[in-house]
Every structure is written in structure tokens, then in C-alpha cells.
Chain A
Amino acid sequence: AQSVSQHNHHVILSEAASLELGCNYSYGGTVNLFWYVQYPGQHLQLLLKYFSGDPLVKGIKGFEAEFIKSKFSFNLRKPSVQWSDTAEYFCAVMRGGGSQGNLIFGKGTKLSVKP
């Protein structure tokens, strides 16, 4: 069965530190990849997505992610975090093609940014 692994359960950083959250998936075929973010008390919302093309994807709020097919990875990065980035981050994978669009989510990584 397909699965998504997020390596860190909780990451604590100081403001201005760089961020990298790991995400690996197990499906060997074509995939669409997503990072979702859930700020405290808010809806789960899309941060960025990869469907095809340039494997380095830019998202909102200065986030980016790189799809490395050979490593089955889609790590999320931000060069300098802010206190407002405190949230829970979820990596998700959808098998490519078709209209069904079922997502498989990782267990999430909580990010706490100290001011």
C-alpha cells in the first residue's frame, strides 16, 4: 500500500532559522505531490503542489519544495522562518492520472517558531 512518511513529528526553530521538513512516499508510479498547512485554529490549506515540470516548486509565504524522483522525496523548505509560520505541516501524495484525486497524507510535522 502507498504511504507517506514525514520524518519529524515536532520541529522547534528560532526566527530567521532555515527550515527543511522531510517527506518521502512509497508509490513507484506517477504522482502528484502536495504540502498542506494548518495554522492554529484555521482550515487546512494548500501551501504548494507539484504535478509536472520544474521539480522545484514555489508556494505561498516563501515556501518551496523540491521533488526528487530518485529519492521518492518532496521536502519542504524555507530559508528564514517567522513566528507566524508556527503551524502543522502535512505532506500528501496523489497517484497521477484519473479524476478521483485520493490523497494519502503523512502524519504531519508540528513547527514551533520561537520569537
Chain B
Amino acid sequence: SQTIHQWPATLVQPVGSPLSLECTVEGTSNPNLYWYRQAAGRGLQLLFYSVGIGQISSEVPQNLSASRPQDRQFILSSKKLLLSDSGFYLCAWSNYNEGNEQYFGPGTRLTVT
């Protein structure tokens, strides 16, 4: 069966520090991968998606970037965090051959101080 992991679960970082959040998926090949930010009362905002290694599309201009160094690894990064980057970050995967619905990870709660 497929599983999705995110770490860390929680993170407190000062303004101006770098960020690296990791997401890995097991049990499926060549998935589409997604990063979302969830804010209270605002639903889920798609930040990045990837249809393959090295292929990243950005949905909103911002202080963050994403990379996909391996088929089932998706990384969310920032060189310098802003206060506004605080939030709950969710990684998800989907596979067209497995119904195309998205499966979500447990999320990372980021607090920028």
C-alpha cells in the first residue's frame, strides 16, 4: 500500500532563516506530487506541483521554491523565511493510473518568529 511521509511535523524558525521541508511517497511510481499551504478559514492553496523528476510548476509567486530530486521525493525550500510563511504545509500525491485522487500527508506546522 502507498504511504506518504512529511517531516518535520512541527518547526519554529526565525525570520530570515532557510527552510527545507521534505515529503516522500512509498508504494507508487511516477506520482504527481503537490505542496499546499493550509490557512485557517482559507482552505488549501496549491503552491507547487510536479509531474516528474526535475519538473516543477509554481502556482503562486512567493518566497518559496520546490524541488524533486527523486521520483518520490518532493522538497519545499526557502532561502530566507518571512513571517507570512507561517502556516500548515501539506504534501500530496496522485497517480493517474490509480484514480487520480490526491492523498495527503500529515503536514508540517511552520511557525516563523
Contacts and interface: CB of A to CB of B under 8 A. Distances in A.
A99 B42 contact: no
Q: How large is the interface on B (under 10, 10 to 19, 20 to 34, 35 or more residues)?
A: 20 to 34
A90 B42 CA distance: 11
Contacts, number: 55
B46 A107 contact: no
Interface string B43-82: 1111001010000000100000000000000000000000
Nearest to B39: A107
Interface of A is mostly: strand
The 4 tightest CB contacts between A and B, nearest first, are: A107-B43, A99-B96, A44-B104, A105-B44
Interface of A: 4, 6, 9, 32, 34, 36, 43-46, 49, 90, 92, 94, 99-108
14 contacts: A44-B90, A46-B101, A99-B96, A100-B51, A102-B46, A102-B49, A102-B59, A103-B46, A104-B46, A105-B43, A105-B44, A106-B43, A107-B41, A107-B42
Interface of B: 32, 34, 36, 41-46, 49, 51, 59, 90, 94, 96, 99-107
